[in-house]
Amino acid sequence: MTDNERQQLKAKLIKGRFWGADDLGDPTIDKYAAITLRDRANKKLVDGVYLTFTGPVGESPAGKVEVVGGEFTYLLANADTYSEAICLAALELPEFLKQHPEFAVDQERN
C-alpha cells in the first residue's frame, strides 16, 4: 500500500468515525493504533462476536480479518499487514452490520 493509499484509508476511517483526527498514531501502519481501532470496532458487535485476524499461512503474505461468533464466520478484509487488514475491516463493518443487524450492539448507531 502506498503512502497516498494509506492517507486515503486513514481519511475514510476519520470520516466513518472510527478514528479521530486528534487520535495518536496511524492505524494504517502502527500496530498499537490498529489494536485500538480493532477494539473500537469490536464495541459495535454484541457480546460473543468479535473480529479476528489470521496471519500469513504458507506462502501467502496476506492476512484476513473475520467476524466470528460461535460457528458463524464472515470475511471482512484481506491485506498484506495486520494494520491494513484491521483498517479495511473497520470500513466494511457498517455494511456487514446492515446485512446482519443481529450482531450489532446498537442498530440505530450502525
Residues 11-58: tens digit of each pLDDT: 999 999 999 999 999 999 999 999 999 999 999 999 999 999 998 755
CB contact burial 39-58 (16+ within 10 A = b; e otherwise) = ebbeebbeeebebebeeeee
> Is 110 part of any domain?
no
> Is 8 part of any domain?
yes
Report the mean per-residue pLDDT for the chain. Answer: 91
What is the C-alpha to C-alpha distance for residues 15 and 11, in angstroms, rounded to an integer? 6
Q: How many residues does the chain have?
A: 110
Q: Specify the CATH number for the domain of residue 43.
A: 3.30.2120
Q: What is the pTM of this model?
A: 0.89
User: What is the pLDDT at residue 106?
Assistant: 79
> Is 108 part of any domain?
no
**How many domains are there within the chain?**
1
CB 43 within 8 Å of CB 105? yes
User: What is the pLDDT at residue 60?
Assistant: 59
CB 78 within 8 Å of CB 66? no
Express the helix, strand and coil content of the chain in percent, nearest 5 each: 40, 20, 40
Domain range for 32 is: 3-103
> Is 70 part of any domain?
yes
> Is 93 part of any domain?
yes
pLDDT of 110 strictly over 70: no
User: What is the pLDDT at residue 58?
Assistant: 58
Q: Give me the helix-helix angle, 3-15 and 82-99, nearest 10°.
A: 40
Owner of C-alpha cell 492517507: 7
Q: How confident is the model at residue 92 (pLDDT cuts 50, 70, 90)?
A: very high
> Is 109 part of any domain?
no
Beta strand extents in 10-96 (DSSP E only): 50-54, 63-69, 72-79
